[in-house]
Amino acid sequence: MIDRIEYQDYVTKTQPKSPMVRTLFAAFIVGGLICCIGEAIGDIIKVIFKEMSDKDVATWESCVMIFLGSFFTALGLYDKLGHYAGGGSIIPITGFANSVVSPAMEYNREGVFFGICAKMFVIAGPIIVFGVVASFLVGFIGYFVV
């Protein structure tokens, strides 16, 4: 018989360690690179459409990044990247696109209505709900403060 503390020690010693340094390094590199790609797309748009305002450039930039994220998810490449990079692929806006497209692809055999359209928001739903509620609260408070 071993007592509880001994058992806890045994468990922590033998459980697989999550490779902290490697995942942090991968997240840093991949996240930084995705942000750089976004910046590059913004710069290219600025060169092509010279008279576009900065706000429109930023909007276009995130739209293109969302498209790229969905596209590489559809090719199956983004999930492989996510396995390697973890947070580096989740936190950029491409990860949001991935969280919309990935369940839609996963459940498309359950039909268009309750497969694709409903399951699309399994992960993105909370983000949209929290975002909309937060933005309403900000506007509501801002209306009385300003």
Partner 1 sequence: MDIFLTYLKVFAVGGLVCLIGQILINKTQMSSARILVLYMLVGVVLEVTGAFEYMKQFAGSGVTIPIMGFGSNLAKGALEGVKEKGFMGAISGGMSAVAAGLTTAITCGFIFGLISRSRSKKI
Site for partner 1 in 105-134 (CB under 8 A): 105-106, 108-109, 112, 116-117, 120, 123-124, 126-128, 130-132, 134
CB of residue 7 to partner 1, shortest distance in Å? 21
Token digits of residue 51:
């008279």
Does 46 bind partner 1 (CB under 8 A)? Our answer is: no
> What gap in Å lies between CA 45 and CA 14, rounded to an integer?
52
User: Scanning residues 5 to 24, which ones bind partner 1 (CB under 8 A)?
Assistant: 18, 20, 23-24
Q: Please provide the distance, in angstroms rounded to a whole number, between the alpha carbons at the two ends of the chain.
A: 68
Least Cα distance to 103 among 78, 121, 129 occurs for: 121
Residue 120 DSSP label: T
Q: What residue type is 78 in one-letter code?
A: Y
Interface pick for partner 1 out of 8, 9, 32, 44 (rule CB under 8 A) = 32
Confirm or reject binding of residue 57 to partner 1 (CB under 8 A). Answer: no
Question: What is d(CA 27, CA 21) in angstroms, rounded to the nearest whole number?
Answer: 10
* Nearest one of 37, 18, 30, 133 to 91, comparing CA atoms: 30
Based on CB atoms, which residue is closest to partner 1, 2 or 18?
18
By the rule CB under 8 A, 101 interacts with partner 1: yes
Q: Does 81 contact partner 1 by CB under 8 A?
A: no
Q: How far is the CB of 1 from partner 1 (least distance, A)?
A: 31
Tokens 């969905």 found at:
70
Closest approach of partner 1 to the CB of residue 116, in Å: 4
